[in-house]
Amino acid sequence: MKELIRTNDAVVLSFAESLMKDAGIPCFIADQGMSILEGSLGLLPRRFLVAEHAAVEARGILVDAGLESELRE
């Protein structure tokens, strides 16, 4: 799995997940459990991961959807 986004913004994560599901790209939001445990402090961001073989395509979809500023290097 390849990390594309790291954020505390649930809306961004939900939107990215929806885009990947529509495109048929496997994705996973990591650290959800830890983020919930730490409460509303926002110390532990969640990571948006996609299948390694589809990372380039997924990045393109996210850029096209206006999430370029959320992407990690």
- Residue 15 CB: number of other CB atoms within 10 A? 16
Domain ranges of the chain: 2-70
Cα gap 73→60, rounded to integer Å = 13
Tally the C-alpha atoms within 13 A of residue 1's C-alpha that lie toward its C-beta: 13
pLDDT of res. 40: 58
pLDDT of res. 36: 60
CB 59 within 8 A of CB 20: no
Query: pLDDT by residue (tens digit) across 42-67?
Result: 678 899 999 999 999 999 999 999 99
Tokens of 11: 């809306």
Reported pTM: 0.85
Query: pLDDT by residue (tens digit) across 5-35?
Result: 999 888 999 999 999 999 999 999 998 776 5
> CB burial class (10 A; 0-12, 13-18, 19+) of residue 16?
buried
Looking at the predicted structure, is the pLDDT value of residue 37 above 80?
no
Assigned CATH topology for domain 2-70: Alpha-Beta Plaits (3.30.70)
